[in-house]
Structure 1
Amino acid sequence: MNLKKSLLIIIVILLIDQLSKIYIKTHFVLGDSVEVFSWFKILFIENSGAAWGAKLSDFLPISEPTGKLVLTIFRLFAVAGIGYWLYDTIRKESSKTLILAVCLIFAGALGNIIDSVLYGIVFGDSYQQLATAFPDEPYGSLFYGKVVDMLYFPMVDTTWPAWIPYFGGSTFRFFEPVFNIADMAISTGVGILLVFNKKAFGKIDDEIPAEEVA
């Protein structure tokens, strides 16, 4: 896969990710939801931390704003590292499987870092009101934006039977996390690397039919 095709994949994912986030941010109040199917909802939440809403301040003796800044800076370095990895795989003409996976991971990471770096100064607050773009009083500042999530798949939403020890009577919901297109791209890319590991990291010659080599 060449550079042009790789860039096209990245641009398409970024456009879908950012357009969906901008639409949700400007048309939904924080916490609003729309049921598409019984097992799929559009639910607007914002994530100021890492995966699953975790925050560095939950684990380290630092303030929440400091933890947020450290996390955003770490994400910037991570995106730069993934970008170099993508460039290197294309330069070395690695397998199409590997390049596709890295493209997905890079596009997803870049999509979420845009939220973290810029959304705090681009949008107003979404709490009990619709956010506006480029308001006089944005909800945050540079590097202190929140990631917009909206895809929610509560495929199973029930209650544990009362006779089950410890869990009896409590709520059971699968799938609980709310995520976005960027998260999907990252997960798909990582999944490709795990499932098609040999094909991704195999030699280029392995992908060429024997009759073409002869």
Structure 2
Amino acid sequence: MSLKKAYLLVILILVVDQLSKIYIKTNFELDEEVYVFDWFRIHFIENSGMAWGAEIPGAFGKLLLTSFRILAVGGIAYWLWDAVKKHASNYLIVAVALILAGAVGNILDSVFYGRIFNDSYGQVATLFSSEPYGQWFHGKVVDMFYFPIWEGNLPSWLPIWGGQHFTFFNAIFNVADVAISTGVGILIVFNKKAFGK
């Protein structure tokens, strides 16, 4: 795959990711939910940008996280360029392009959203608001896809979690997260083909 095609894939994913996030942010209040099916919902949440909503406490922690992610994206971009120049497997090039697109998509939220949107608590946010909710590099990542495939109480005979309420699959994510997960999945499942050359 050429570098041009790899970058086109990255740009396409970024456009879809950002359009979906801007649509959700400007049409949903925080925690608003729409049922598409019982097992698929659009549920608007925001997080600090770490996996599973984990957080480094304080404003410095958020700045540190965003700065680290920008450096990591530089490394991933170099990996993509290097893979194309060395005529690596298309499995590797596509996987790295997906990971790069997803990482950049979530970084855009972290860097810009705090300055271009107002708050979503109890209201629909406005794009390019005169009263932004945060500072540069302190934005929150928009998530919306929720697939609670099964929800109920686990049997009491199960160790540790027996009798407790359980939801499978309770993560809420976005297009960028799907791209990253798919890229990592390709590297794991097609490991020999991706790194074979």
TM-score (norm 1): 0.89
**Corresponding residue to 1:97 among 91, 97, 104:** 91
Query: 1:39 maps to what in 2?
Result: 39
Where do 1:103-142 residues align within 5 Å?
103-142=97-136
Q: Count how many residue pairs are aligned between Structure 1 and Structure 2.
A: 197
Q: 2:43·2:172 contact (CA, 8 Å) conserved in 1?
A: yes
Query: Secondary structure in 1 aligned to 2:166?
Result: strand
Separation (CA, whole Å) in 2 of partners of 1:75 and 1:26: 26
Q: 2:49·2:110 contact (CA, 8 Å) conserved in 1?
A: no
Separation (CA, whole Å) in 2 of partners of 1:198 and 1:166: 38
Cα 1:163–1:199 change in 2 (3 A) is closer
Q: Which is greater in Rg?
A: 1
1:121 Cα deviation from its structure 2 partner? 0.4
Query: 2:163 maps to what in 1?
Result: 169
**Corresponding residue to 1:83 among 71, 77, 85:** 77
Amino acid in structure 1 at the alignment position of 2:180: I
Q: 2:29·2:121 contact (CA, 8 Å) conserved in 1?
A: yes
Amino acid in structure 1 at the alignment position of 2:27: H
Amino acid in structure 1 at the alignment position of 2:2: N
Q: 2:41·2:145 contact (CA, 8 Å) conserved in 1?
A: yes
Query: Secondary structure in 2 aligned to 1:56?
Result: coil
Q: Does 1:157 align with 2:166?
A: no
Separation (CA, whole Å) in 2 of partners of 1:164 and 1:110: 41
Where do 1:66-77 residues align within 5 Å?
66-77=60-71
1:167 Cα deviation from its structure 2 partner? 3.0
Separation (CA, whole Å) in 2 of partners of 1:109 and 1:56: 18
Where do 1:172-211 residues align within 5 Å?
172-203=166-197
Amino acid in structure 1 at the alignment position of 2:12: V
**In the TM superposition, what whole-angstrom CA distance separates every residue of 1:175-213 from its partner, at most 9, and x where no partner exists?**
01100000000000000001101100112xxxxxxxxxx
Q: 1:42·1:150 contact (CA, 8 Å) conserved in 2?
A: yes
Separation (CA, whole Å) in 2 of partners of 1:121 and 1:159: 42
User: Between the two proteins, what is the percent identity of the paired residues?
Assistant: 62
- Structure 1 unaligned blocks of 5 or more: 58-63, 204-214
1:30 Cα deviation from its structure 2 partner? 0.1
**Corresponding residue to 2:140 among 135, 146, 154:** 146
- Structure 2 unaligned blocks of 5 or more: none
Query: Secondary structure in 2 aligned to 1:172?
Result: strand
Separation (CA, whole Å) in 1 of partners of 2:159 and 2:195: 46
Query: Secondary structure in 1 aligned to 2:120?
Result: coil
TM-score (norm 2): 0.97
Query: Secondary structure in 2 aligned to 1:157?
Result: strand
**In the TM superposition, what whole-angstrom CA distance separates every residue of 1:15-36 from its partner, at most 9, and x where no partner exists?**
1100000000000000000010
Amino acid in structure 2 at the alignment position of 1:12: L
